[in-house]
Amino acid sequence: NAGVMQNPRHLVRRRGQEARLRCSPMKGHSHVYWYRQLPEEGLKFMVYLQKENIIDESGMPKERFSAEFPKEGPSILRIQQVVRGDSAAYFCASSPPGTGVSYEQYFGPGTRLTVT
C-alpha cells in the first residue's frame, strides 16, 4: 500500500512565477491536509479538504494561495506570484473517512520550494 505521494520533491521558482504542488493521498483516504514548515520551525496548518470541498482554510494566506481536491486526481496547492518568503517545505497528509478524535494523519515526504 503506497503511502502519501507528493511531487515534485524539490521545486525552484523565480519570484513572480507560479508554483503547483501535488499530493496523492493514501488509497482509501478521502481527507487531505496541507502544512507549511519554515526553516527550523514546526509545521503550520494551512488547509483541510475533502473531495471537492474545502473544510477548513483558516491557515491559508488570504492572497496568492489556493488549494483544491478534485473528484479525480491529486490535491493541488497553488501559489501564484511566489515571493522569497514562500520558500519552505510543504507537507501533505491524508486520513481515512469517518469521524472521531482518534484518527491519524499520514504525512508525505514533502515538497521543498525554493524561490530565487
Report the interface residues with other proteins, using CB under 8 A.
4, 31, 33, 35, 40-45, 48, 55-56, 58-59, 91, 93, 95, 101-110
Calpha distance 5→82 (Å, rounded): 23
Nearest distance in Å: CB 6, other proteins: 8
CB 51 within 8 A of CB 30: yes
Nearest distance in Å: CB 91, other proteins: 6
> Which residue is listed with cell 469517518?
98
Judged by beta carbon, residue 10 or residue 15, the one nearer other proteins is 10
Judged by beta carbon, residue 72 or residue 99, the one nearer other proteins is 99
Q: Which of 99, 79, 96 is nearest to 33 (CA)?
A: 96
